[in-house]
Amino acid sequence: MGAVQQDEITLVNLYTSNIGSPKYIKKKLLEEIKGEIGSNTIIVGDFNTPLSPLEKSSKQKISKETSILNDSLDQMELIDIFRTFHPKATEYTFFSSAHGSFSKIDHILGHRQSLFKFKKIEIISSIFSDHNGIKL
């Protein structure tokens, strides 16, 4: 818990492994911390999964598990803040040298009601890591 501009916020950092991440995120959010998530909650982290086709350079379809996760996020009124501000952007936060592909697997989710609190969000490039940061 903390405060930003006199508004109390709860920041949740979520990291998932490469395998089964949509199911893991859904389980964490729906079963373990659902009661703790409110309009002042911001969920950040390395989800290890793109949430939309725009978030992958390979333009493959989104998996069934990710579609189910997106439905769950929608039911909880959680939105991808970056995607809301940049609906058509093809900026990425991760480069896989093994696959030669880019993706946006790092996310900042917030409650739909809190969107007015954010003025801008951007991806910051990094030369020291295979992940780029996201700045609110």
Annotated binding site for Mg(2+): 46, 48, 130-131
Residue corresponding to tokens 């086709």: 53
Give the residue from 78, 83, 48 showing the smallest Cα distance to 63: 48
Residues contacting residue 75 through CB under 8 Å, at least 6 positions apart: none
Each residue of 10-21: b (16+ CB within 10 Å) or e? eeeebebeeeeb
Q: What is the DSSP string of 93-132?
A: SEEETTTTEEE--EEEEEEGGGGGG----EEE--SSSSB-
Q: Cα(108)–Cα(119) distance, rounded to whole angstroms? A: 14
